[in-house]
Amino acid sequence: MSEQLNILFLCTGNSCRSQMAEGWAKALKGEQYNFYSAGIETHGLNPNVVKVMAEAGVDISGQQSDTVGDLGVEFDVVFTVCGHAHETCPVFSGAPRLIHVGFDDPPKLAKTAASEAEALGHYRRVRDEIRSFVEHIEEYL
């Protein structure tokens, strides 16, 4: 059994921001911690997220959209990465540390984009912001 911290990234639908966070975390810090992502509900893996993460060299195509209950893991730290998840965060066993680090919602921003390139630009910006957060995750632990 691993002595590493179990860290969860939580958002509303586990389709975008939490998926990016899990992907970056496993790619950059996977040797140090156990990373998971989940949603309050499941919305499926957003194809634009898979695309922009692949552009950055991180393959998340095998990740799934899960709820916390689907994972069956006791967490040490839970990062809420969207406002709705922060406001409606479920109760966890084991009393993990709850930390809110919010990011913009790329699908919401993309709805008003004038082109696909502009829409993907929102995903890329948030992807890069999440990478920066993960690179400095120890500052929160």
Residues 9 and 35 sit within 8 Å (Cβ to Cβ): yes
- β-partners of residue 9 are 37, 79
- What is the tens place of the pLDDT at every residue in 18-47? 999 999 999 999 999 999 999 999 999 999
Catalytic sites, residue numbers? 11, 82, 89
* pLDDT over 90 (residue 81): yes
Domains of the chain: 6-139 (3.40.50.2300)
DSSP single-letter state for residue 80: E
- What is the tens place of the pLDDT at every residue in 43-80? 999 999 999 999 999 999 999 999 988 998 999 999 99
Say which residue the tokens 């140090």 belong to: 32
- β-partners of residue 40 are none
